[in-house]
Amino acid sequence: MSALTFTLKQRTDQRVDMSPLICQKLAGMEPTEVAAIELQNGKRKVRVDELFKISGLDCQNIQIKNSFGKLDFIGKDLSEGSIHVDGDVGAYLGMGMTSGSIEVFGNTDIYAACEMKGGLLTIDGNAGDFLGGAMIGNKQGMKGGAVLVKGNTGDRAGDNMRRGVMLIEGDAGDYCGSRMVAGTIAVLGKTGRFPGHMMGRGTLLLWSQPQLSASFNDCGAHTLAFLPILLKSFKKFNSKFAEVEIFNRVQRFGGDMAEKGLGEILVKIYK
Amino acid sequence: MIINGVSIDNTFAEAFPMKATRVIITAHTAQWAFNSAKSMSGFATSVIGCGCEADIERTLEPSETPDGRPGVAVMLFTMSGKGLRKQVETRAGQCVLTSPTSALFSGIDGGTRIPLGKNLRYFGDGFQISKVINDKRYWRIPVMDGEFLAEETTGQVEAIGGGNLLVLAKSEIDALSACEKAVEAMRKIPNVILPFPGGVVRSGSKVGSKYKALGASTNDAFCPTLKGVTKSELSQEIESVMEIVIDGLTEEDIKKAMRVGIETFCSIGAYNGIKRISAGNYGGKLGPYHFHLQEIMA
């Protein structure tokens, strides 16, 4: 059975709420029922078949083609199956997803992986601001699962992150890991200004020396036994992280001392 | 049954159900992992007086351990799950947490999960850090030499304790030397431990005693100095009897270890002083698992 494929016919002027098109909601639906689903498009509602050419039947394997940056809420609350997107996507990609996988071959707008709880979200391009963040007014962002970004991220990646792992192959913007509650963010590239701003707990693992705020204190060079286990766990990803050299020596910076001060920024020590 | 002049008694070893777990201790060097493991499995020969039976199962190459450092696998056996929880936590806290450069991991993935580092984390006084990696939670506890890493839980599984062999020899030296060889061979079998000092017991016991306060007492039927004064199981030529006690995860594991042990004794042979192989059999009072020596060697 071939993948259930939605090919965008024409770009819309208004944003589209794609949240109805997830595996568990489409399970058991006839093609005509799928075509008749209404999506919010700006102020009006439009049928799926008005926006997309639909083919294939396997709703556990959804493909979205010709995607562009106004398709919001793709994979919202996904709990099973996989979604594959060709092109850029809008905001709130994979918001609240609990399981399954989403892979985007393009860039994402703000709030990808917002309050994500489980599963794997892969972004082949760049991610916008507030990757893995919390909805405005909420106190906890990403609570589980893994986010893999092969490009760069915007500002405040991992804002309010509570649990899970965020892997950034490229560079991270300013305030990476801001207000982190817990969890792990690893960045192979560079980080912008003031990573870990106001983080309470959690770990930022960096391969490049960061520009730290004055409220992070140097705790010295250390050999940490958990690092090889963590790094080995990255081997399962189709990523540069799967190929990184296993190491256990890092410079540890504790902070943010303006908050709880129980977070850490670990910077790889090169021999 | 006689093999190489050694008589195998038509009897059985009687064993009983236990709860068990395996933990993996790693350290900067194999020696330091061993130091910690030796301490953790110390004073753990018998549940009668030690609270648990424990021993080093085997040493582990860096490639076999979770953190890629040299390691040692330790197995602990108790009569109850509650007892195992207590023993694991107490021994982990006093013998592994305290040992330089050590880290502690579960050696059994399945089973009922019991605390390993779950409560030890409070030693970190709020500075401890949790990391969930591949669905397993680890605790990083700051200590004076750096950081102690412990997996949150380990697996408790059903197991068997009290498998045993008695070797009856012409002299004490013959018995001891044969036991040393047998222990060396039996320790290569996975999933079993030989919890007594050097794997050997010289004070095998029977159930009951003439003293009401005691539940067990010396196995007088196998004491060579009492040959003439009690209902002895020993012939005149037997001057020394030693026992190897085996705890294992399954009946099959214990059978394999017993077979290897008996084969070793028989290979030494009657010519070198090994006369008989017997087993601790307490008439069914002790436990439901019966390991028949002749069936094992059939």
Same domain, B183 and B138: no
Instruction: Indicate the residue among B137, B157, B177 that finishes a domain.
Output: B157
Q: What angle do CA A237, A241, A247 make, to 5 degrees?
A: 130
Q: How many CB atoms lie within 10 A of CB B285?
A: 10
Q: Judge if B7 and B31 occupy the same domain.
A: no
Inspect the interface and report whether the beta carbons of B129 and A224 lie closer than 8 Å.
Answer: no
Mean pLDDT, to the nearest integer, of B14-35?
A: 96
Q: What is the mean pLDDT of residues B136-144?
A: 97
Long-range contacts, stretch A235-242, CB < 8 angstroms, 24+ apart: A237/A146, A237/A148, A237/A167, A238/A122, A239/A148, A239/A150, A239/A167, A239/A169, A240/A150, A240/A169, A240/A188, A241/A148, A241/A167, A241/A169, A241/A186, A241/A188
Please tell me the distance from the alpha carbon of residue A182 to that of residue A194, in angstroms, as a whole number.
Answer: 17
Joined together, the tokens standing for residue A253 give 């910076």
Average pLDDT over residues A102-120: 97
Give the pLDDT confidence score for residue B282 in this predicted structure.
73
B169 interface with A at CB cutoff 8 Å = no
Nearest C-alpha in A relative to B127: A262
| A252, closest residue in chain B (CA to CA) | B146
Q: Which of A29, A20, A119 has its CA nearest to residue A64?
A: A20
Contact status, residue A13 vs residue A42, Cβ threshold 8 Å: yes
pLDDT at B45: 94
Q: Which residues of A touch B147 (CB under 8 A)?
A: 222, 224-226
User: Could you give the number of structural domains in chain B?
Assistant: 2
What does the pLDDT read at residue B215?
A: 84
In the three-class reduction of DSSP (H, G, I as helix; E, B as strand; rest coil), residue A95 is classed as coil
The residue of chain B nearest to residue A222, with distances taken between CA atoms, is B146
Comparing A26-30, A87-91, A216-220, which segment has the lowest mean pLDDT? A26-30
Burial of A220 from C-beta contacts in 10 A (0-12 / 13-18 / 19+): exposed
**Can the peptide bond before residue A256 be classed as cis, meaning omega within 30 degrees of 0?**
yes
Pair B174, B205 in one domain: yes
Reference B178, options B242, B255, B259, B246; nearest CA is: B242
Last residue of a domain, one of B157, B180, B199: B157
- pLDDT, tens only, A24-82: 999 989 999 999 999 999 999 999 999 999 999 999 999 999 999 999 999 999 999 99
**Are B28 and B120 members of one domain?**
yes
Under DSSP, the state recorded for A124 is S
Q: Is B103 touching A (CB cutoff 8 A)?
A: yes
Query: What pLDDT does B255 receive?
Result: 96
Q: Is B112 exposed, middle or buried (0-12, 13-18, 19+ CB in 10 A)?
A: middle
ipTM for the predicted complex: 0.91
Instruction: Write out chain A residues lying below 8 Å of B26, CB-based.
Output: 225
For residue B284, pLDDT over 80 is answered with no
For the segment B202-226, what is each residue's pLDDT rounded down to a tens digit?
A: 999 888 899 999 888 999 999 999 9
- Residue B71's beta-bridge partner residues? B26, B60
**Strand B129-133 versus strand B136-143 pairing type:** antiparallel
Q: How far off is chain A from B112, nearest CA to CA, in Å?
A: 23
Q: CB–CB of B132 and A222 under 8 A? A: no
pLDDT per position as a tens digit, A152-201 = 999 999 999 999 999 999 999 999 999 999 999 999 999 999 999 999 99
- In this structure, the answer to whether residues B247 and B198 fall within a common structural domain is yes
Position A102 confidence tier, pLDDT thresholds 50, 70, 90: very high
Whole-number pLDDT of residue A271: 74
Residues 129-188 of A with CB under 8 A from B: 163, 182, 184
Domain end point (choices B157, B180, B208): B157
Which residue range forms the structural domain that includes residue B117?
19-157
Helix (DSSP H) and strand (DSSP E) numbers for chain A: 4, 17
Average pLDDT (B165-186) is 96
CB A66 within 8 A of CB A46: no
pLDDT tens readout for residues B80-115? 999 999 999 999 999 999 999 999 999 999 899 999
Examine the domain organization and report whether B282 and B181 are in the same domain: yes
Q: How many residues does chain A have?
A: 271
* Average pLDDT in chain B: 95
Supply the DSSP symbol for A100: S
CATH assignment of the domain containing B44? 3.30.70.520
What does the pLDDT average to over B162-183?
96
Domain boundaries defined on chain A: 110-268
- Which pLDDT score, from 0 to 100, does residue B105 have? 98
Q: Which residues of B touch A262 (CB under 8 A)?
A: 126-127, 129
**Rounded to two decimals, what is the model's pTM?**
0.92
B175 shares a domain with B98: no
Which of A226, A234, A241 to probe the B interface (max B CBs under 10 A)? A226
Strand partners, A214: none
